Amino acid sequence: MVATPAHDSREATSVLISSIKVSHRMRRTDEEKVREIAESIKGIGLLHNITVAKREDHYVLVAGLHRLESFKLLGLKAIPANVIEANDLIEDLIQCEENLCRSPLNAIYTSRFLRRREELLISLGRKAVVGNNQYTEEKLTNKELASQYGITPRAYQYKKAIADMNEEAADILCETKFADNMMDMYKLQKEPDKIQLEVANLLASGKAKTFRRAWVLGHMKHKEERWSDEVKEVKEELGIPKSIMKWERKKDKLNDLCYFVSHSEDARKVKVTAQFGTNEIANYSMLPEQSRWFIKFFSKEGDLILDNFAGKGSNLIAAALEGRRVVGYDLSETNLALIREACLEHTSIKAEDLTLHRSCGVELAEYEEQEEIFDMCLLDPPYLGAEDYGNDDERDLCRIKSIDQYNQRMEVCISNLSRLIKRSNFKKKVFHPIVIKIGSVRRSDSGLCDLATEIEIIARKFSLVLHDKIFNELRSAYQSYNIARCIENKYTVKSHETNLVFVRY
């Protein structure tokens, strides 16, 4: 309890109950508690006087509402009281102290009294204000206030923050058992008013039996109102981003342009033939909708996109069609010519925004002196031991059959990408990703080699953070050709690829 200043001149006297006025109080009375105190008074009398402040022609109750109501219940006309000089601040502070120290309070009442107590202590010049020198002024600090209640400073802040709850929602919850749970109330006060009110009404009406259910129902009703326009647009256009994605092929312009390149007689490469050579299975190329999804999810119009293993150009064509500037690398002049034709003749990209290099996508020699220039890197590097694309260039990753050699080349590649990608900022929600689509290979009795794991290990060397990992379902016709071998060797058909999303902070 707060010490009473010497000038308050307390005196004990019997005061007529009819002369005592009760001002607006921060806490309602508990009828059961009033009855309990009345029974105690009948048996042993009043142990603690109430406190009142003397006004001109009446008294104002400062502390002891439950005791006063007990005397009324017993039909008594007067009550023993300590009388103090009228002082609004002192009266309020005594009321706060008494309620905080004596009776159990729910989390909402506790928070209100703690907040009001601090305000009064500051007004009386007894509590330090944030920014002032609390040590030389010798005033109470939050740490000291917390220690008075035997709690940590963090718990004290949690308790006090609940007073920020929407007043109407708090009043509703005060009449329920749910107000006893401090962390639930702390969690709720951080939400928008509409959700606070929704949760409070669900709990008070009994439509939700638990706080968790009311929380979920409240957010389901109002969640879209909290979404930014950008979030709403992405969800509407791209759907819900999930860790396992299944993209369908769409019969649209992007699909037609990618088909134009991948099925060109000059560029088409056969992976394997089945049914005695009558059924050719071409090398797998990235699904156009997959390319478009990553580009639209992670970048904006006008951004500069790099694909340093262009292949049949799905990433580059999708980026050009969606209004991005693009840089592409490939060792095949045929592929690059087809990609250039598709982009310049069938998308709105300007010639100066389309840069294609017949060069090594690992070394990226054309940008060896530059840093932080790309908004996004989206690449689909050849698998370890991939089928020969007919390229005699020694720099082609398809020619590498050793995991150690493959990792050495990818280490050079990722080193360059980490230098060339712009930095991300998580707090500002600015992301410039390096998205690498990768799979796995089997090496007979050497077992399964998960290339995603190899790439993750390499990326850590260059301070890249694994921001996300997204799996996509494969649609390769080669899967059906491979079923017999999988069953014979007792392993599963690999029907997915891994998309690793790295950022540099």
Confirm if 198 and 221 have CB atoms less than 8 A apart. yes
- Sequence-distant (6+) residues with CB within 8 A of 453 are none
Nearest residue to 64 (alpha-carbon basis) of 77, 46, 76: 46
Asked whether the beta carbons of 410 and 455 are under 8 A apart, the reply is yes
Band of pLDDT at residue 140, cut at 50, 70 and 90? confident
Is residue 292 pLDDT above 60, yes or no? yes
In this predicted structure, what is the pLDDT of residue 114? Answer: 87
Mean pLDDT of 408-433: 97
Which residues are within 8 A (CB) of 413 and not within 5 positions of it... i.e. 6 or more apart? 308, 361, 362, 364, 381
Q: What is the 3-state secondary structure (H, E, C) of 11-32?
A: EEEEEEHHHEECCCCCCCCCHH
Give yes or no for residue 272 having a pLDDT over 50: no
pLDDT band of 269, cuts 50, 70, 90: low
Token digits of residue 41: 């008074």
- pLDDT reading at 137 higher than 60: no
Angle (CA) 307 351 364, round 5°: 30
Residue 398 DSSP code: G
Q: pLDDT value at position 181?
A: 94
Cα gap 422→303, rounded to integer Å:
11
- Measured N-to-C along each axis, helices 153-161 and 182-189 cross at an angle, to the nearest 10 degrees, of 60
**Residue 118 confidence (pLDDT):** 85
| Maximum mean pLDDT: which of 20-24, 276-280, 306-310 | 306-310
Residue 81 φ/ψ, nearest 5 degrees: -145, 145
Q: Is the CB of residue 48 less than 8 Å from the CB of residue 10? A: no
Q: Which CATH class is domain 237-503?
A: alpha beta
Reported as a single tens digit per residue, the pLDDT across 12-47 is: 789 999 998 876 554 567 788 899 999 999 888 888
In whole angstroms, give the CA distance from residue 407 to residue 412: 9
**Residue 82 scores a pLDDT above 80:** yes
Contact 25, 68 (CB under 8 A): no
Q: What is the pLDDT of residues 330-355, one digit of tens each?
A: 999 999 999 999 999 999 999 999 99
Q: What mean pLDDT is predicted for residues 103-127?
A: 81
CATH number for domain 6-163, candidates 3.40.50.620, 3.30.70.1070, 3.90.1530.10, 3.40.720.10 = 3.90.1530.10
Do the Cβ atoms of 261 and 267 come closer than 8 Å? yes
Q: Is the pLDDT of residue 468 over 80?
A: yes
pLDDT for residue 10 is more than 60: no
From CA 307, how far away is CA 498, in angstroms rounded?
Answer: 17
Per-residue pLDDT, averaged over 371-381, amounts to 97
Contacts of 23 (CB under 8 A, 6+ apart): 60, 61
- The overall longest dimension of the chain from CA atoms, in Å, is 113
Identify the pLDDT of residue 274.
Answer: 44
Q: Where are the domains of the chain?
A: 6-163, 237-503
Highest mean pLDDT among 384-388, 392-396, 429-433, 481-485: 429-433
Position 425 scores a pLDDT of 97
Q: Given a cut of 90, is residue 68 above it in pLDDT?
A: yes
Q: Would you state the pLDDT for residue 3?
A: 37
Region 181-191: mean pLDDT is 94
H/E stretch holding 328 reads strand 325-330
- Which pLDDT value is given to residue 283? 46
Residue 133 above 90 pLDDT? no
Determine what percent of the chain is predicted with pLDDT higher than 70. Answer: 84
Q: pTM value?
A: 0.59
CA pair distance 376, 388, nearest whole angstrom:
28
Beta-strand ranges (E) seen in 22-126 are: 50-54, 59-63, 78-85
Lowest mean pLDDT among 103-112, 292-301, 330-339, 462-471: 103-112
* Confidence at 235, pLDDT banded by 50, 70, 90: confident
Element spanning 378, H or E: strand 376-379
Q: Is the pLDDT of residue 184 over 90?
A: yes
Going by pLDDT thresholds of 50, 70 and 90, the confidence category of residue 138 is low
Length of the chain: 505
